[in-house]
A and B are shown apart, each in its own frame.
Chain A
Amino acid sequence: MRFLPLSLLVHALGCWAIHESDVGVVDWYKSLIGVPLAAPQPTTPKFTLVEGKDVILTATESNILASLNVDDGSIRWRVAYDPEDRITGFYQNGDALVTLSGPGGAISRSIDLKTGQIIFEQRLHSNSEATIIQPHVAFDPSSQDIYTLSNGYIVTRLDQKTGTPAWSWSGQDQSSLTTYTHLLATPDTIFAIGVSTSFASYTLHITSLSASTGEVLASSELPSSIHSPAVDLFAFAKEAPVVAWLEQGKVKSLALTPNLKDKKAQVSSSGPFEELVDVGLPGVLVGKAGQESTVLSFDGSKFTSEKVLGEHDVAVKYAGSSVNGKRYVAKSEGPIIEVTGLDSDESAILFPYDADDTLSHYSIHTSSVGVPRVLVVTTSGAVQLFVNGELKWTREEGLTTSLLAEFVELPERISAEGEATKDEPFAHRLQRHAVLAQDFPQYLKSFVRRFVTGSYASATSSAVASTDGALSRDAFGFRQMIVTVTLLGKVYGIDSSNGNVLWSQLLGTGILPFKVFSLKTVSDGVDPEVVIIAVRQLPEGHETVVFHLNALTGENLAGPSVFRGSIAKAFLLDQSSKFVILVDETLKVHYYPNNGETRTAFKKVHTTLSFPMHLIKEKEHSLAGYQFAVGEGEQVVATPAWSLPLSPGEEVQRILPPSARGPVASVGKVLGNRTTLYKYLNPRLFTALTVTSTKDLCGLYLFDSAKGTVVYQVRIPADNGACDVKTALIENWLVYHYYESEVSSGNVQGTKGYRVVSVELYEGRGIDDKIGSSDMTSYANASTAVFTFEDSFTFPYALTALAPTNTKFGISSKDLIVATKNHKVQSFPRRLLDPRRPRRKPTSQEAEEGLFQYDPIIYDDPKRVISHSYEVANVRQLVTAPALLESTSLVFAFGLDMFVSRVAPSGTFDVLSESFNKPQLVLTITGLVVAIMFTRPMVQRKRLREKWYM
């Protein structure tokens, strides 16, 4: 009943919706998994066979568990874990994959290897008592039940199908000196292997449990001295359960029996070693000593040296694989990976691995027919599969770490005609025209065909302009270049029409991107250029690096310019030419490009500029504003202008600039009664988000960066101590989203849920009071004269990002684009969030303005889900950019997945409507022509007759 008026309302708001045929034409979607994790061993990528096909299983930095096809690298399935529920390991158990995740391995899940569906989910211990000890899982090969070791002291037997615990054994509590790190299972006995802290090092401690009841069979301390149990202790089952450790350079091992009577460790004759490496093969360890590495294998009683792998340095990495009982060990050295067979005399195979990247880690696998495969993960996040040394596929998983993104317009296509010169001889010209005229019949034919049947470029047509030659835009500017910079120090140029990576450029390692600006655009008559500002971490401190790239090719236009110290602020100024101003930690000003022209241009305007920053002094946070002044030696420096201390315990989370600085189409809003509300358009407004953890409060401040006046301020309850407020400031419209949990403060009267608050700021003291806030100097008293309208709505979803649409001239209404936690990108119309919606039936004047009755619930319209059936997971940021069409805005969502689409908040009013029916028009015209042809003689006859009878 309640939704009936709502559905009417939705119609009133206009239905701009997606047609099924537009999928993949107006939008694209790239599903990613994140950069695979390397260590520890339970999280490294593994090859396995599922339904007769080779697949790769991997856990990633983005906390995704995924299964990839070996053939083409496509995703078979993926499971996204919550950010606080880190995957600590995955273990294959027949057709299921058992994972432990969360602090100390608090949650165990079993996942179907074929479909990726969760079979069961079981909590092993509560999060509050969790430790950071690496958990472990073991399987009983006969019953396939699951044994978990979590939190360092809890061993649980879980049913393989339902996850129901059969028994749980808890070692001594956390305060005890023993922590368990490994678990081994035999059909009758479970061995929990751990260490006890003793005077200078750790002593091995083993407890054996009955597999059926969980009773302790024996518990024993073994005389040993382990320096670092995380890297020096190993446990594996090879015929019998064996524990191995490194003690004073020697490899010691012990086969375990249920009664733990045998305490005599076997010492390997080889060594001494500095380090032992587990390569994922049971009973095989690689020992590193000096310049040499040796493969050690367990022969039933002790470790013996099997093969010498030769020299190694620090960057060398090892991996192992076994197929049909044949074991292989690989060693990487620079770009070369060397695979050695342990059970056969297969000579070392070399993999020419050519990439400008350096190797981060890799996994090897040898197929049943003996074809070696290497899965390589590079430091920039590329995942590559090499089969027999040849690159099979690449996944650019580094894109999941994208931090910055910028849309760059592409140049128009230059038509390749007009070779005519001024003083062309007549004969030559005649000849040229004759050659050109050859194509005329063809042209005429296609013209007629196009006139009768052809379609016109519409707002929903594909954005691919031309396939030949140079990069160029389409008719409406939907095809642009998206330049993204990742945390792993790589820049990508992505085609916004299909998501292909057109170029990529490595900036270097240890680089933290700070800002990206487009320094030159197509309108400057040259190839567009971008400037990337990044901070590089060096052993002796930080340095700031400025990269200058051609946005079409990714070429370096100038060598990176560097200055010492970290950067505090960077912004782009557009005077006669564009340049970047960088302010370092010590408030010194740097220029890019660093030339005289830039300096003089900046000196002209520097007094009018200000910027806000957040200061921490003796743990007290404050907001501060800075201005520029000429200091010593004619150098411009930033100087503090004001500071706004926050209440004790209040910390600044973020300072956000306005979401869009596009052109403002109108400075006022004309009401139904012909009065005007003038928008408060102070260009120096910034938003600050704060958190007061002691009081469970979040804060939002809207302040003038030139003088620190707070224009709007609000306190928001925190959700269990966390502040996750999403906000955007668009012209004079502030919108913020948060979770309201009133119950925690003792008030159940209200309602819990997500809220979105919409605030509109208008200048002056009321209606028709125009003070011109957009051009006013910040020193005028009236510059903070403002009044607001605000309203709050309950919102259906949790959000991960939020952005307004952005159009070329700002005439189209500005809808809110949100990325929700249930993996959608959705648009919400501005009119729905109008804070002036009346609480009763709107009067005719209000209806004229387009206001309709207030409803506390924001209607969730699935037709406005621009990502429709795509699962756009974990979006971190939304970037919107104008197209050449005023009506249309491009939306780019990134985080884990990438998604680009177009939205037309006010409908596509500037192109031929989607419902424009050309056949109907042609048919009607043809009908009329036929009718005229038919009636013309009749009319002529009648006229003639009339003349006769006059």
Chain B
Amino acid sequence: MVFHSLQGLLCLLLLCAVGTFAIDIQGRIVWNDVCSNATTLGRAKVVLDSGSQHAGAVTASGNFKIFDAPVGTYLLSVISHDYTFDQLRIDVLDSPEGAVGVEVRPYIAGTPLNPPADVLLPHPITLAAKQKFSYFTAPESFNVLSMLSNPMTMMMVVAGFMMLATPYMMKNIDPEALEDFKKEQAKMSGVQNAIASGDFKGGISAIMTAAEEQAAARAAPRTGKGRKSKR
């Protein structure tokens, strides 16, 4: 009985001992192009898990220290207003020799903690800012060039130009070529109309008639010319 309670006491003692196994987690924020010094970083904190139990401030030199982290698995994150940092997985281990060790691993947000990543990072942790938040969107500014380079505007301008220029172009064009062009256009529009209205047969016949007409025109080239001259 006495032995039993002694064992219990020992267990309790051991438990207490395990409970007091704790280590300071140290690290440093490395200044880089994204965040070059403590002033631009502003007030920042490094926390384990939710930060309700273990947290440390980032000092002016970029160092941080989280005191007395007991044995366990934690997520280390940096709380900063303007910058994003990687999260790390921290395992505070209780090695058989009684010493307490720290293992640091990379961690991707939202992924399960197990299995742990194979990559081990050095213990005095080094972290660097990944990205600076950009809160603002640039307002759309107006400039005439961008307005003119808009395809719709360009089409409109070209169409307007064509409207004005066509009569003059028509005037300068060879009358015979014009006649041919007109015929071609009428023919094409006939085919298009027929196909558009779903009348394939009519469409094909329109092509056929066009071919016939062409042949007829070749046979009697005089008539067209005569009509034209009448104008």
Contacts and interface: CB of A to CB of B under 8 A. Distances in A.
Interface of A: 15, 17-21, 23, 79-80, 82, 109, 112, 115, 117-121, 123, 126, 719-720, 722, 739, 741, 743, 748-754, 794, 796, 798, 821-824, 856-857, 862-863, 865, 868-869, 871, 914-915, 917, 919-920, 923, 931, 935, 938, 942
Contacts of B163: 935
Given A121-B59, A751-B111, 17 more contacts: A15-B137, A18-B137, A19-B139, A79-B43, A112-B60, A117-B38, A118-B58, A743-B74, A748-B73, A863-B135, A863-B136, A868-B136, A869-B81, A871-B42, A871-B43, A914-B139, A931-B160
B79 A123 contact: no
A751 B110 contact: yes
B144 A118 contact: no
Contacts of A750: 112-113
Contacts of B22: 126
Contacts of B114: 748-749
B136 A20 contact: yes
A21 B139 CA distance: 8
30 contacts: A19-B139, A20-B136, A21-B139, A79-B43, A115-B60, A117-B59, A118-B58, A121-B57, A121-B65, A123-B67, A126-B22, A722-B52, A743-B113, A749-B114, A750-B113, A751-B110, A751-B112, A754-B50, A798-B51, A821-B51, A822-B81, A824-B81, A863-B135, A868-B135, A868-B136, A871-B42, A914-B139, A917-B140, A935-B163, A942-B167
B68 A123 contact: yes
Contact of B57 (A17, A109, A115, A863): A109
Contact of A923 (B56, B140, B144): B144
A868 to B, nearest CB: 4
Contacts of A919: 142
Closest 10 CB pairs of A and B: A862-B133, A868-B135, A123-B67, A117-B60, A17-B137, A20-B136, A857-B110, A739-B50, A19-B139, A822-B79
B189 to A, nearest CB: 22
Interface in B55-103: 55-60, 65, 67-68, 72-75, 79-82
Contacts of B139: 19, 21, 914
Interface in B136-168: 136-140, 142, 144, 147, 160, 163-164, 167
B217 to A, nearest CB: 25
Contacts, number: 124
A862 B53 CA distance: 28
Given A80-B43, A920-B142, A18 B113 contact: no
A119 B135 contact: no
A19 B141 CA distance: 12
Contacts of A794: 109-110
A121 B22 CA distance: 18
A865 B39 CA distance: 21
Contacts of A739: 49-50, 52
A920 B147 contact: yes
B63 to A, nearest CB: 8
B134 interface: yes
Main secondary structure of the interface of B (DSSP, over half): loop
Contacts of A119: 59-60
A856 B112 CA distance: 12
A460 B137 CA distance: 14
Contacts of B160: 931
A743 B142 contact: no
A271 B115 CA distance: 75
Contacts of A117: 38-39, 59-60
B73 A869 contact: no
Contacts of A821: 51, 79
Contacts of B82: 869
**Residue among B22, B42, B139 having the largest count of chain A Cβ atoms under 10 Å:** B139
Interface residues of B, number: 48
Contact of B134 (A15, A79, A118, A862): A862
Contacts of A824: 81
B136 to A, nearest CB: 4
B109 A18 contact: no
A739 B75 CA distance: 12
B52 A120 contact: no
Given A118-B60, A743-B113, A752-B113, A18 B135 contact: yes
B136 A17 contact: yes
A27 B178 CA distance: 67
Nearest to B146: A920
A63 to B, nearest CB: 14
A159 to B, nearest CB: 13
Interface centre among A18, A121, A722, A749 (most CB of B within 10 A): A121
A121 B43 CA distance: 13
> Which interface residue of A80, A82, A112, A117 has the most chain B CB atoms within 10 A?
A117
Nearest to A77: B43
Contacts of A80: 43
A826 B65 CA distance: 29
Contacts of A18: 135-137
Contacts of A869: 81-82, 135
Contacts of B113: 743, 748-752
A149 to B, nearest CB: 19
A739 B164 CA distance: 71
Nearest to B157: A927
B109 A935 contact: no
B109 A19 contact: no
A19 B133 contact: no
Contacts of A822: 79-81
Interface in B17-58: 22, 38-39, 42-43, 49-53, 55-58
B56 A121 contact: yes
A856 B110 contact: yes
A119 B167 CA distance: 82
B59 A120 contact: yes
A484 B111 CA distance: 43
Nearest to A82: B55
A917 B137 CA distance: 17
A570 B17 CA distance: 53
A17 B74 CA distance: 35
A208 B99 CA distance: 35
B39 A115 contact: yes
A915 B57 CA distance: 43
B51 to A, nearest CB: 7
Contacts of B39: 115, 117
Interface string B115-141: 000000000000000000111111110
Nearest to B84: A860
B81 A741 contact: no
Contact of B50 (A719, A856, A920): A719
Contacts of B142: 917, 919-920
From B56, B74, B135, B136, residue with most partner A Cβ within 10 Å = B135
Given A79-B43, A863-B137, A743 B112 contact: no
A920 B111 CA distance: 50
Nearest to B80: A822
Contacts of B167: 942
A739 B49 CA distance: 9
Nearest to A931: B160
A798 B77 CA distance: 12
